[in-house]
Amino acid sequence: MGSGYYELYKESVENPGGFWSSVASELHWHRRWRSALDGAAPFFRWFAGGETNITYNALDRHPSDRLAFVWAGSDGRVERYTYGEVLERVRRYVCLLRGLGVGRGDRVTVYMPMVPETAFILLAVARVGAVHSVVFSGFGVHALAERIKDSGSQLLISADFMYRRGKRVGLLQNAEDAAKRVGGVQLLRYFREERRFEGEAEAGGCAGEPTWVEATEPLFILYTSGTTGKPKGLYHGHGQYMVWAYAHTKWLFGFKPGDILFSTADIGWINGHTYGLYGPLLNGSAVLWYEDAPDHPHPGSWWELVEKIRPAFIWLAPTAVRLLMRYGEEWVRRYDTSSLKLVISAGEILGHEPWRWLRDNVCRGHGCEVIETWGQTENSGFIAAPGGLGLGGIRYKQGSVGLPYPGLKISVVDDKGVKTQPGVKGHVVVEPPTPPAFALGVWGDPERWVQTYWNKFPGLYYTGDVGYYDEEGYLYILGRGDDVIKVAGHRLAPAEIENVVMSHPHVVEAAAVEVPDEVRGSVLAIFAVPKSGFKVEASEILELVKREFGPVAVVSRVFIVERLPKTRTGKIMRRVLRAVASGSLPGDLSTLEDEASVEEIKRAIEELKGAWRLS
């Protein structure tokens, strides 16, 4: 295969079976697959009959003295582990798990903070052929119990505490309460100060070798919020996820010896799985974790780590960037960030101003690039991106998430499923066959997989996002389809409006939502967060929007607030903003990072109610 994007892409869509067989052959297989691709939409299966184990490829086949894992705490501690040291820990935990009766196909829920042992125990779960289900450590008892029950986990693993902004936050009580609520699940405790799992001293007498599993057997379950209120458990195939995680990270990062990827994504999300664990290790690179918040113990914590550890890449979310922007440029500029080759944004739309801020203050002319990627939990992480360092031929265009990666036939269609012309907004879909990146389905509910992703446009995978292509085929994502704003018959994407609002020199974050109006049917409500120490007037935001969009964008109210309601992955909860701005109940807030943000927005609305109205 050629190394350029267009050569690889052409082969991947014209001969998907042969293409992915060639990629998979770069990894170790205990038994070769009998068929590269089985099944039909919406249930595709890759490498059926092949046997492997992702941990053998992520650990055993690399030099034991090569750096694999770096952990940093907010107290200044740094721990480094070679591949040999990680493998030794993983083998020890394999013995522990097997001693507890955990084996092939069993589900294990992991409720742990960002500590080294979390990475090692996850690898051990995969090594015994079991299925891990990581639940974000910020979730409470209800969310944890719900996910344990849905996955049918027989074992729950939890640490006694985590750190949040330097303070200890207990986890075991939540774990114990959730285990009691579900019933029939065993709890394995990890004691941080002693650096041991309970029963670890008795575990022994085994070599900790991998269990060989079929490529289509599940490796992990990850839960995402659903519109029905019940989380969806997306599960990924052991071997096919392995091939995609190896290949697409190699194409983006172009890993070189000694490269370190600073993954700021929590292990409880798909980006934490793929870019904070499996992707770098499959490529023989190293990954860096930091346990605490990006602005603790100070707003330069991340950049101080970049200066100290010298990573080549940093993977971050736009919400964290906007948080750090509020503190100004001084905190990033006091540290040496010249080791960085790529600054990668993922999770939601970055926006023009955060992109510029990263370019001017993090890269600052030393040659690194700031790029955006696009993807979902359902497809292992990103599936469209600029070329990066390992795949030539895709340049970065500001605002674009690049081109579809090999194996992805991404299209944009109108409401009737007809492909749109360049520049015309529509629904982003993927044509079959979907590549190994994609989940096998929704755990225990195959019909939900069909109805959620394959029913809106029969024969096409519906991403739920809206966007458009330009004349060169570069993809632009504008937001979720259910967030599209329709005002006076015009369709406006939140990102379009929010980018304009954030062009105000003193606005660091913004959200635009549609609210009902008796006369016009629907109008805009805009929420703007000012930079720390600056005052922004609502009238200034209104004038900006009027100037850029004209009479199409009818603004009902502009609310100046200190923070926006977000999920724990950092995505703005626009349904909450819509509800509060409309005077209705916000509904389920179990995935909200900070419920106080909703109360603040309610107060802002009450202060303005009846005082004035913009039009």
Question: Looking at residue 387, what is its pLDDT?
Answer: 79
**Run of H or E including 570:** none
Mention every residue, 6+ apart, whose C-beta is less than 8 A from residue 525. 512, 513, 514, 515, 555, 556, 557, 558, 559, 577, 578, 581
Residues facing 168 on adjacent strands: 163
> What are the residues whose beta carbons fall under 8 Å from the beta carbon of 319, sequence distance 6 or more?
347, 348, 566, 570, 571, 572
Q: Do β-strands 218-224 and 131-134 pair in parallel, antiparallel, or remain unpaired?
A: parallel
Task: State the Cα–Cα distance between residues 339 and 262, nearest whole angstrom.
Answer: 11
Here the tokens at position 455 are: 């029913």
| End-to-end CA gap in the chain | 58
AA identity, residue 408: L
Q: pLDDT at position 51, please?
A: 98
Instruction: Between 478 and 468, name the one with better pLDDT.
Output: 468
Nearest-angstrom CA–CA distance, 575 and 59? 43
Mean pLDDT lowest among 41-50, 468-477, 563-572? 563-572
Q: Between helices 238-253 and 16-24, what is the axis angle to 10°?
A: 80
Nearest partner of 146 among 441, 356, 582, 443, judged by Cα: 443
347-361 pLDDT per residue, tens: 878 888 899 999 999
d(CA 179, CA 135) in angstroms, rounded, equals: 13
Q: What is the pLDDT of residue 75?
A: 93
Beta-sheet pairing, 78-82 with 155-159: unpaired
- Bigger pLDDT: 579 or 131? 131
Between 543 and 343, the more confident residue is 343
CB atoms within 10 A of CB 552: 12
- Burial class for 608, CB neighbours closer than 10 Å (0-12, 13-18, 19+): middle
pLDDT, mean of residues 175-179: 96
Give the three-class secondary structure for 294.
coil
Taking 50 as the threshold, does the pLDDT of residue 611 lie above it? Answer: no
Contact, 216 vs 438, CB < 8 A? no
Nearest to 124 by CA among 67, 64, 187, 59: 59
What does the pLDDT read at residue 175?
A: 96
- pLDDT of 228 reads 45
The amino acid occupying position 445 is: D
Of 248-257, 319-328, 434-443, 480-489, give the lowest mean pLDDT range.
Answer: 480-489
**Has residue 577 got a pLDDT over 90?**
no
Per the prediction, the chain carries an average pLDDT of: 90
Query: What is the DSSP code (8-state) at residue 482?
Result: G
H or E element, residue 280: helix 279-282
CB environment 383-407: b (16+ within 10 A), e (fewer): bbbbbbbbbbebebbebbbbbbbbb
pLDDT at 279: 98
Does the structure show a pLDDT above 50 at 2? no
What phi and psi, each to the nearest 5 degrees, are found at residue 77?
-70, 145
Q: 341 versus 391: which is more confidently predicted?
A: 341
- Mean pLDDT, residues 123-147: 93
Which band of pLDDT confidence, cut at 50, 70 and 90, is reported for residue 185?
very high
pLDDT in tens, 518-563: 666 678 889 999 988 899 998 999 888 887 776 667 787 888 988 8
* pLDDT higher than 80, residue 170: yes
450-457's contacts with Cβ under 8 Å and 24+ in sequence apart are: 450/42, 452/226, 452/232, 453/42, 453/378, 454/41, 454/42, 456/427, 457/413, 457/417, 457/427, 457/429
Which residue shows structure tokens 């200190």? 562
Map residue 449 onto helix, strand or coil: helix
Q: Where are the beta strands (DSSP E) in 273-395?
A: 286-290, 313-316, 342-345, 369-372, 374-376, 381-385
Q: Concatenate the DSSP letters of all residues of 163-219 into one string.
A: EETTEEEE-HHHHHHHHHHH-S-EEEEEETTTTEETTGGG--SS--PPPPEETTSEE
Say which residue, 614 or 125, is predicted with more confidence. 125
